[in-house]
Every structure is written in structure tokens, then in C-alpha cells.
Chain A
């Protein structure tokens, strides 16, 4: 890779130089070394055991252990959530080793499981006793009722019987008496509770199966009862079923079980019943105290766990990640040490070596770890050292594609041009101030919010707070330039340049005013707002501004491609790509920009559309009144020829030269240099695998270059037109803003009624915040992003690298937050 040469290095311009390094660690200090490297967070380990399955790796058992511990911790977390406790983010606490922690976790888990099952059993028994008590109370009512009515009926029938019996013969009386005795079959009964929603079906099925030979009496229980089996509150009915015979009894029992009706024994003896009730009440209160004590014990155990949960969780996660990393190292059995290979930034070399030394000392190992740099043709990962301000912008660029190793980073310019283009589309200093205040609040509360867990949207807004604050600062600036404060202009920078033609101002609404003074010094003249010719003027201004800004940004992109070519010492790209691209873009659209500026400076009435189109259609024609400066016709012919020449210049020489280069490189392949004897076998085989015999297909390269040329040529027109979105969105913003101001606020003001004014203000605020501050911000953000990703970056950016992801505990704990 070439160096910058004469140009000094700049932060964030190119990736940090990376190196492939190998570390040989003796076994005793392996765990500690990886732990210290994880703290440092600057080494990306390569997986040297990629061929092995997870179960074949050396430390699979350790990972299983960590997995078990993680499972136990998750169980504890569920218990903590049940108890409604939050985990405290306490990093302090006694140091504890993994083995001790494993034992402790096992003990605690067993304890908690035992407590949970005991509580469950006790609770079930408690609920059953509650139901029994209900049965005793309610069923007692039936019997009481039934008995009283039965005695009443019996008394009646006895009297009746006695009256009738005096007229009958004594023989019949005897027969009736005997049948009475034989009819005295014993009735059995079953009592219990059935869920109310099943009670109708229960009754029906009982009736059907026993052919109506049972008697069912139900009574509603008012409050909900906790079902012992399910543990939920259900509406239930107390029932008593009277049956006769063994068969009926079995049927009734089976039906009760099928319906989940819990049966409880019952005596019709009142005395016994009251005794049972008091007994059950006693047992209930006993159970309640036992359950309460159990719950108290459980919650204190869970609280003790909650205090240390975070620390244990982090320890387990850390250990798991260390073992995963150790699994990636190759195990050199003969030399009793582990070999690690990976990428690290060149500036981190001393830090890594210090960490290795510390690990050697701390683990009392005789042999130190060896750190050596390897040479390879593999492409290294890309690493930018960003701080909290620049990381958001770098993420925006990385979302499109991570920069190839050491190519120019568009993120550098994005820091300024992205908020600037946003502001061009958003320009209103009132809205800018609102955005600024909102993000200032986020930034001042930075520390608090960065440790909290925020919702998805808040997370994004908080992560992009520096982007948004830059956007708001530029919006305030462009708001002053467009002279819009919630769409109202102010005369802040001097007097307006326009005045009536004569003192009576008759013509102000027909022919218009004239420019009497100097141009308004900063921004758009305040007179324009609300005039009939406002839109033609502003449209012309903003469209031309978009073209000028677009051509400037695209030129910047092409210039960056020059710097890339210079850095990689790719002369072909400089002569046969950069120069024709510059010529083509500038002879067409650079010339258009020049015409725009000249027209503005001279105030000529030339029609630029006409000029540009006829430059192509009939370049030799006389320009007539569209002439802006002397020699324009000849200049146009020259530029047209240059543009025409630039196209084959971009297309043809590069593939031919690449082919020649390839042939030259491979002509000398027969004379390969001797491998130096110092390199050991591993790096030897790597070197060979990296230096593959590159295939060179001329047709492929030609087609690739053809696509690239067509893309550039057509793209120069479409990309320039694409910048017109700057005009479109800024027009939309100012129109919306002016509609909300005039049709809501001024309308409400015009009624002279306080209520309507208040309603008007509230609607105005909601409309401004919802439509302009949220929707327009997102919209302008998106379009500015698109302009960067497509129109700016396709001039020079390749973006096919991969990001440097070092082994770092900070990143591991962030990952597993979800």
C-alpha cells in the first residue's frame, strides 16, 4: 500500500493503519491475557478453528458451564420480576471467581426452587380448605331448608294419612306400612364446588346419565374462588347431588371428576358441621401465617440476589466471551501454548504489549507472550477513531457501506455538508431555534440518558443528537438567508432595496416596485414575502442555487477520487479517469454554473435553457440576444468538443493499460523471489494463499469500464437534476410554514375573540411541531442523506470494506442488552 507522500495525515480521512499480528501465549496465562486484551478492546481475533464444529472445540465444556450459569441467572431474573424488583447497576461488590459463582448459583437455585414448590403446595392446600369451608357453609343451608320443608310436608301428609286411614280397611293400611319400610332406601349424597360456566352442562349430563334419578341442588357463591388446581379466581357454585344405589354413585363421581368439580365430605349433623367449620377456620389461619412467612423468606432471598445480580451477570457474560475467544485460538499441543492471530491498529502495539506483559506477571508464568507482526496481502478491516461527536456521522456513512481499507472517508466532509444540505431544505430560523433547544436539552442530559434504556425512537434521536444540533445551527443560518421566521420576514440587516416608482404607489400592484437602493446585504429582501411575483423569483433563485451547490459537491467528489488515486499510486486512474471526468462534468455543468453567475452579474435577459439546448443541437448558430459575453459561441464549441473527447478518453485507454500491466506483472512470474528461510511454515502457506494467480479477462474489464463510463456520463445529467430536490423541499417547507401562519394564526387573530385565538394558537403549535418540525425534519434528513449516498459518493467511494470489530467487553455487554 502506498503512503500519503507529501500530504500530511488527517484524522478520519483514511482508516488507521492496521497490521496482522500473531500472539503466542503460554497456557497458564491464556485466560488472563485474553481478559486484559478484552479490557483494552483493540484486537480483533481471527477464528483459527473455523473448520471445527462448536462441540469439537477445546473449551466447549467451559462454555456449557457458562451457559448453565446464564440459564440460572435468567431464572433468577424471572423471580426478581415476579417480586417486582429492579436490578441495581452496582459495579462494586466482592471479587468472585467463576467456580465459586457456579457453586453459589447452584445453591441459590435449588433453594429458590424448593421454596417455590413448598409455597405452591401450601397455597393449594389453603385454597382447598377455603372451598371446603364454603361447601360446609352453603350446603348446610340446603339441608336446613330441606329439613324444615320436609318436616312440614311430613306433618301435612301424616295428618292427611291419619284422616284417610280411618275410612280404609285395616288390611290396606298394613300393606302400605310394609311398603313404606321397604321403600326406605338409603340416599347417598355428594357435595362440592363446580365452576359456574359448567354448571348447566353438569346438571344436564347428571340428569341424562342417571335417567333423572338424582336430585341436584345448586347454590351460587358470590365472590370469586381461587381454584386450587389452576390457581386462578373462578366463579363457582356449591352443589349437592343426592343419588341412590352404587351404580349411580360411580356415575356421579366420574362426572364430577370430568367437570373438574372438587368434592368435599359433608355431614348433615349440625353439631359436627359447626365443629368442622371451626376446625377448618383454624387450619386456614395457620396455613396463612405459614404461607406469609414463606413468602417473606422468598422475597428476602430474591432481594439478596438482586443486589448482586448485575455483577454476576457481567461476570458470566465476560467469561463466556473469553472462552469463545479462546476457542478461536489454535492449540499448539506440542509447544504447550495457544496461538492467536488477528488485526490490530499499528498505534495500539505498545498498549497490547504492555497488556501481555501484565498478564504474564499476574499469572506468575515463566514464559512471556510473544507478539509478532505478520505480512499479508489480505485486506485489513477499516478502523476510524471517532469520538461521540463524529461517531454519529461515521455511522451514517457506514450504513451505506464501510470504507475500503485506507480509501478516503466521505464522513469527513459529511460532518459539515450533511447538516448544510439539510438546512438548505429546511431554512427557517424559528424552526431552527426550536430544534436547537430540543437537542440542547438532550445533550445537557447526556449522562443520564446514556445509562438508561430508552425506547426505539428516543434511542435513535438521542444517538443522533450531535447531527441534529449541527442541522439546527445551519438551519438558523439559512433561515436568516431565506429571511423566514415561521415564514415571517424581518428587516434585520438594513433597509429593503425596493421602493415604489412614485410617491403615490399607484403601480405597486400592477407593474411593481423598482430597486432604488443597494441590494439587501444579507439574504432575501424582506419585501418579497406575500407579493404576487414572489414564487417566480424564489423558484428561479432556488433552482439555480441547487445547481450551483450540486455541481460544487460533485466536483468535490471527483477531487476526492484524485486523492484516492494518488494515495494508492494508481496513475492510470489519475490520467484516464479523474481528468476526463473533471473535463466532462465541468465543460457541461460547470459551464452552466458559469452562465448562471454571469447572467446574475450582468442582469442579462438571456434564456439559459435555450443556450444549453442549442449548444448541443446547433452549436455553430449565432446566439443573438442570448449572448452573455464576447466569444461565447467559440467557447461553447470548444467545450462541446472537449466533452465529446472525454467520453472515449474515459472508456478505452484504461482497459488496454490494465491489460499491459497484467502482462508485465506475470511475465516476470517465472523468476519468483526465494522465500526467506526465517519465516516459519505457517506464514509461508498464508503468503502463498494470499498471492493468488489473478485472472484477467480483457472483455470483463472492458465491459466494467463501459458500465462505469455510461454511469458517469448519464449520471452527470441525472445527478445534477437530482440536486433540484434542494429547491423542491425548501419550497414545500416555506409554503407549509406560510399556510400555517396565515390560515391558522392570522385567521384566529382576525376574529378578535380570545377563545378562538387560544384554539388557533394551539392548532398552530400542533401543526408546526407535527408537520414542520417532525415530518419535514425527517423528510429533509432523508433527502440530504440520499444526496450524500448517491450523488456525492458515487463519484469516488467504493465502500466494500469491513469494519474493525475488536474483542472488547464494553461491546459484548452492549450487544446482549436486548
Chain B
């Protein structure tokens, strides 16, 4: 799975999470906006973490050198 496919997956998961929170706890517009903010922040944080680690491994400058006796 490439970079963009997984990014798209994250976006889709984020949207599904937003819809779930809207369905489960619908407590008025200000509360909804609050939940939306939390879900979006969480999705963005998780995506950033994954993207950083993925990008770092795409074109590596260092390769694994096994230690003796493995």
C-alpha cells in the first residue's frame, strides 16, 4: 500500500469516526463541534506519526547491519 492510499485510509477512518460520534452523542451544536475538533485532532496526530515513520523509511540512507551471532 503506498503513501497516498494509506493517507486516504486515514481520512476515511477519520470521517467514519466523526459520523460515529455525531450519531452516538448528539448533544447540541456546540458540543458537536467540540467532539468534531477532538476527533479531527486525534486523526491528524495519528496520521502525522504514521506518515513521518513511513516517509523516513521510503528512501533509506542507512541499511540494517545484522549483529554477529543472529
A residues at B contact (CB < 8 Å): 8-13, 412-413, 415-417, 420, 424, 477-478, 481, 497-498, 508-515, 518-525, 527-528, 530-534, 536-537, 540-541, 544-545, 548-549, 552, 597, 600-603, 605
Contact = CB atoms under 8 A, between A and B. Distances in A.
Interface string B28-70: 0111011001100110011011101111111111111111101
B38 A481 contact: no
On chain B, which size bracket covers the interface? 35 or more
B1 to A, nearest CB: 5
Contact of A532 (B31, B34, B61, B66): B66
A549 B41 CA distance: 13
B50 A523 contact: yes
B6 interface: yes
A417 B64 contact: no
Contact of A9 (B2, B30, B57): B30
Contacts, number: 133
B65 A509 contact: yes
Contacts of A513: 63-66
Among B33, B42, B48, B49, chain A packs the most CB atoms within 10 A around the CB of: B49
Given A420-B45, A511-B65, A548-B48, A13 B34 contact: yes
- Chain B facing A: main interface SS: helix
A194 to B, nearest CB: 79
A478 B70 CA distance: 27
Given A416-B41, A521-B1, A532-B67, A10 B49 contact: no
A589 B42 CA distance: 23
A412 B34 CA distance: 8
A310 B4 CA distance: 64
B53 A524 contact: yes
Nearest to B70: A530
Given A524-B53, A541-B56, A508 B66 contact: yes
A10 B41 CA distance: 15
Contacts of B50: 481, 522-523
B44 to A, nearest CB: 9
A529 to B, nearest CB: 9
A781 B56 CA distance: 27
B55 A601 contact: yes
Among B45, B55, B59, chain A packs the most CB atoms within 10 A around the CB of: B45
Contacts of B70: 509, 530
Contacts of B2: 518
A603 B59 contact: yes
A403 to B, nearest CB: 16
27 contacts: A9-B30, A9-B33, A10-B33, A412-B37, A477-B49, A481-B49, A498-B63, A509-B66, A509-B67, A511-B63, A513-B64, A513-B66, A515-B60, A524-B53, A530-B66, A530-B70, A532-B67, A533-B62, A536-B62, A541-B56, A548-B48, A549-B48, A600-B55, A600-B58, A603-B59, A603-B60, A603-B61
Nearest to A600: B55
B33 A605 contact: no
A461 B12 CA distance: 35
A10 B30 contact: yes
